[in-house]
Each structure stands twice: as C-alpha cells, then as structure tokens.
C-alpha cells in the first residue's frame, strides 16, 4: 500500500515513496485520476445502454433519450443527464411515464431493486 514518506526514516528512498503515494491519485503528468465523471454530449436521440453507465450526458439539442426495459441496464446502473439544449429533452421510459427536462434541468436515472427512477430538478447556473 502506498504511503507518505516518514521523516527521518526514508533516507535515500524519500522520492520513490512520495512518487508511489502520489501515483495512486495522479497520472504521470500529474492529472487527477479516478472519481472524475466522464462526460459525453448528445445532439441526436438515442437509447441508453451500458456504455453510458456512470457518465454524464449533456444534451445539446432537444432530443429523446429512450430507456430500455427494467433489467437491461442492470441493478445499480446510474447516469446523469444535463439539458443544455435550449429546448426540452424527453426521457422516454419503458412504461407509460416519460420525464420532460426543461433547459437547465439536471436528472439522474437510477436502476435499483428492479425499478427505474429519475430524480430531476432545475440547476442554478453560477458562472
């Protein structure tokens, strides 16, 4: 397990110990790794698939995002959807319920315990 150098006891290996510790959360160029949400943009309608799991989808056009039937995406599946289109984005569920996102809305779609849920609300633009 990586650790920070211990003052007075890592003589001659201090730099190696520190680099190993920093390497856990950084790549060779010093950029943070892990924990960052991968983002993709969408300008055309599509159906959610497992490749979107854990990602943020930024809608740049008024589109429809189709959600496949329960169990297709898998228990624990989650995806964030941001409407930055200037129009309305539709999350088309497999049942009779759809969710409309107004421009600026953010939603999180989660499949858990054999059910799909969408948590949504307006975001606040701060910059």
Confidence grade of residue 3 (pLDDT, cut at 50, 70, 90): confident
Annotated domain spans of the chain: 1-35, 39-122
Average pLDDT score, the chain: 89
Q: Tell me what pLDDT residue 39 has.
A: 87
CATH number for region 39-122: 2.60.120.1230
* Per-residue tokens: 123: 């975001």
pLDDT of residue 36 exceeding 70, the answer is no
Q: Which residues contact 81 (CB under 8 A, 6 or more apart)?
A: 56, 57, 59, 65, 89, 91, 101, 106, 107, 108, 109
pLDDT tens, residue by residue, 45-87 = 999 999 999 999 999 999 999 999 999 999 999 999 999 999 9
pTM tops 0.85: no
């Amino acid at each position: 397990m990586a650790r920070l150098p211990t003052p007075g006891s890592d003589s001659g290996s201090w730099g190696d110990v520190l680099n190993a510790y920093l390497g856990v959360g950084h790549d060779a160029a010093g950029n943070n790794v892990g924990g960052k949400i991968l983002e993709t943009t969408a300008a055309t309608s599509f159906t959610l698939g497992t490749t979107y799991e854990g990602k943020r989808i930024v809608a740049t056009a008024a589109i429809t995002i189709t959600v496949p039937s329960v169990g297709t995406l898998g228990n624990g599946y989650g995806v964030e959807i941001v409407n930055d289109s200037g129009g309305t984005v539709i999350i088309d569920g497999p049942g009779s319920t759809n969710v409309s996102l107004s421009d600026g809305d953010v939603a999180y779609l989660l499949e858990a315990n054999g059910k799909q849920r969408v948590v949504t609300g307006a975001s606040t633009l701060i910059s």
